[in-house]
Chains A and B, each alone.
Chain A
Amino acid sequence: MPELLQFLLSGITVGAVYALVALGFTIIYNASDVVNFAQGEFVMLGGMITVFAHAAGMPLPLAALIAVIATAGVGVALNKLAIEPARGAPVVSLIIITIGASIFIRGAAQLVFDKQIHRFPAFSGDQPIAIGGATILPQSLWVIAGALAVFFCLWLFFTRTLTGRAVLATANNRVAAQLVGINTNYVMTLSFAMSAAIGALAGVLVTPITLTSYDVGLALALKGFAAAMLGGMGNPKGALAGGLLLGILEAMTAGYISSQYKDAAAFIVILAVLFAMPQGLFGRKSTDRV
C-alpha cells in the first residue's frame, strides 16, 4: 500500500508539470488553432534562465521572475515573427514552423548558456515529508500547489475578466469576435505570452527535482502534447486531467511493470483513447462543415 501511495505521489508531481505544459498547448490552440511544438522549450527556458540568473548572484525569487518574464517575451516574439506571418497555412506547415522554432530556441539556448545539466536549490529544503508510509519532497508540493494556483488564476481570468472573455470569444469564432470589436491579434499575442509564462513557471518549479539542460524541451513537449490530446485538445480541464492521468500512469508503469517502457505505456493509452474517443476524454464531438 505505501508503495502504491508513493507511485501516486510521484505521478501527481510529474503529472502536474505535464498538465501545465498541456495547458500552454491549450491556450495557444484555442486562440490560434496552432499546436505549438515549442511549448517544451518554454519550460526549458524557465529553468535555464533561472539557473543562470541565480548563478549571477540574484536571489532565487527574482531570478525566477526574470525567467518567466523573459520567456513570455520569447513567446510574444514567436507569435509576431513566425505564427502571424504564416496565418492560414496548412496544419503540416504550422507543425513544421513550430518544430523549427523549437529547434531554433534549443540551438540558441545551447549557445547562450551551455550544454551542461543544471539545477538550483529547492525552495524549501530537501528534507522529505512522510505521508502514510510514503515520502514526498517539499519541492513536489511546490509543483502541485503551483499548478493548482495557475489553474485557479486562469479560471478567474476566463470567467471574471473582460479580456479573458475576449480570449474565449476568439477561441469560439474568430470572425464573430472581430465583428464585436475584439482585437484578435492582441488576443493571440496575449495567449502566446501567457502560455510561455506558464511553461516557464513549470520549468522554475520542477528544475530542483528533475534538473534541466538545453535539450529537455522535446520530451516535455511530447508528453504535454499527449496530455492535451488525452484530455481533448483545447479544453483546459482536459489539460489538467490529461496531465495528471499521464503522470500517474507513467509512475505506475515504471513502478509495477518496467521503467524502460514507462513512456510506451503513456502512448499506448493515448492511442487506445484516440481510437475509442477520437476527440479525447473531454473533447466535444464536432461535425465538419462542408
Chain B
Amino acid sequence: MRLSSKATTLLILAAVIAIAPVFFPSSYYFRVGSLIFVNGLAVTGLVILIGYAGQISLGHAGFAGIGAYACALAPVHLGLHPALAAVLGAFLSAAIAFLVGRPILRLKGYYLAVASLGFGILVSMVLSNEAQLTGGPDGMAVPELGLRAALKAIGIDLSNTEFWYAFSGLVLVIGAWLALNLHHSPTGRALRALHGSEIAARTVGVDVAHYKLVAFVISAVYASVSGSLLALQNKFITPDVGGFMHSIEMVTMTVLGGAGSVLGAILGAAILTTLPQVLTVFQEYEQLMLGLVMMLVMIFMREGLLPSITRRIRGRGE
C-alpha cells in the first residue's frame, strides 16, 4: 500500500515526537523539544504564507506577541481561563491580520517586507512601552494552564517538562495536519497558483487579494497560538517574543528547512532552536555561526535543506 505524502509526513512527524524521548538523557531535552514544537507551529503557519502563497512577512512575531500577552493579560484583567485567553488571542490576531492584511498585501517583494516589518515593530513597541499594562521590558508572569493538574487527577502524572513536550507536540501535529489538508484543498491550489504567477492566477479567475488575505490570517493564527504556548510553558513572558529578531528567526527557520514543505520547515525550526543550545559552550561564536549557517544554506540549497536533500537522495536512486 502506498501512503499519500500527507499521511507520510504526519506519520514521520508523530513517530519522531513519540520516539525521541527514549534517547533523552535528562529533562532538559524535553524542554528543548517543546521549544522546537512551539517554533515549529509558528513556522508551519509561515509555510502557508511563504511556501504556498509566496508572500513574505517580517513582522509575524507581532502575532506571537499578541497570543503570548493575551495569555498573560486576559486572566488578570478579564478573569478568563488561560486556555480561553489563548483562543481570544488567536481571534484577536486573526482580526488584526484581517485589518492590516489587505493594505499590506497589495505590496510586493521588499515593499511587503518593510510594511510587515513596520507592523511587527509597532506591536513590539507597544508591548515594551505600555509598562503599566505589560510590565515593560521586564516582562510579566503568565498563569498556569491547569491541564497538567487535570491529567494528574485521572492518573497520568507527568513532570512539567514532559507535559509540555507531549502537549506542544500534539498541537504541532494537529497544526501540521491542518496545513497539509489546506495544501490539497481548493484554497491551497489557489494559493499555489498565485505563488506561481499572480497575473496567470487572476486570468483563470482566482481572487488574488482574497486568497493572500486568507493565507495571512491563517498564518497569523498559527503564530498567535505558538506565542500563547510559549507564554504558558515558560509561565513568564517578555516583549522579545514579539520582537524583530523573533520574526527573522521564524522566517529563517521556514526558509532554511524548506518553505514549500511542512516537514522541512519544522526541521528548520529544530535546527535553529537547537543550534544556540549547542553553541552556548562557544557563546562568543553563536552569532557568527548562526549567520554563517543562514548564508550557506541559502546560497547552496535554495529550496531549503529538506527538499534539497530528498532531491539528492532520489537523484542517486534513479
User: CB within 8 Å of B: which residues of A?
Assistant: 35, 82, 85-86, 89-97, 99-108, 110-111, 218, 222, 225-226, 229, 233, 260-261, 263-264, 267-268, 270-271, 274-275, 278, 288, 290
Contact = CB atoms under 8 A, between A and B. Distances in A.
Contact of A95 (B113, B126, B199, B288): B113
Contacts of A92: 50, 56, 251, 255, 259
A95 B298 CA distance: 10
B295 interface: yes
Contacts of B288: 104, 107-108, 111
Nearest to A78: B295
A92 B119 CA distance: 18
Contacts of A103: 287, 290-291, 294
B163 interface: no
Contacts of B114: 225-226, 229, 270, 274
Contact of B103 (A82, A105, A275): A275
A227 B251 CA distance: 23
A246 to B, nearest CB: 12
User: Which among B106, B294, B300 has the highest number of chain A CB atoms within 10 Å?
Assistant: B294
A104 B111 contact: no
Nearest to A35: B110
A229 B110 contact: yes
B36 interface: no
A258 to B, nearest CB: 8
A100 B291 contact: yes
A101 B121 contact: no
Interface of B: 50, 56, 58, 103-104, 106-107, 109-111, 113-115, 117-119, 121-122, 125-126, 129, 199, 244, 248, 251-252, 255-256, 259, 284-295, 298-300, 302
Contacts of B121: 222, 263-264, 267
Contact of B111 (A89, A233, A260): A233
B259 A102 contact: no
B298 A104 contact: no
Given A222-B121, A222-B244, A264-B121, A96 B252 contact: yes
Nearest to B117: A222
Contacts of A225: 114
A226 B120 CA distance: 14
A93 B256 CA distance: 9
A186 B231 CA distance: 50
B199 A226 contact: no
Contacts, number: 128
B33 to A, nearest CB: 25
Contacts of A270: 114-115, 118
Given A91-B109, A261-B125, A275-B103, 10 more contacts: A86-B299, A95-B113, A96-B251, A97-B295, A97-B298, A102-B291, A107-B289, A267-B121, A271-B115, A275-B106
A104 B259 contact: no
Contacts of B287: 103-104, 106-107, 110
Contacts of A229: 110-111, 114
A105 B294 CA distance: 13
A90 B110 CA distance: 11
A111 to B, nearest CB: 6
A96 B298 contact: yes
A91 B286 contact: no
Nearest to A278: B107
A183 to B, nearest CB: 23
A244 B98 CA distance: 33
11 contacts: A91-B56, A92-B251, A100-B292, A104-B288, A222-B117, A222-B121, A260-B129, A263-B121, A267-B121, A268-B122, A290-B199
A275 B289 CA distance: 38
Contacts of B292: 100, 104
A99 B298 CA distance: 11
Contact of B106 (A99, A267, A278): A278
A95 B50 CA distance: 13
A249 B125 CA distance: 17
A92 B286 CA distance: 23
Nearest to B248: A99
Contacts of B289: 107
A271 B295 contact: no
Contacts of A264: 121-122, 125-126
A100 B288 CA distance: 9
Contact of B298 (A35, A93, A226, A271): A93
A94 B115 CA distance: 17
A264 B127 CA distance: 12
Contacts of B129: 260-261
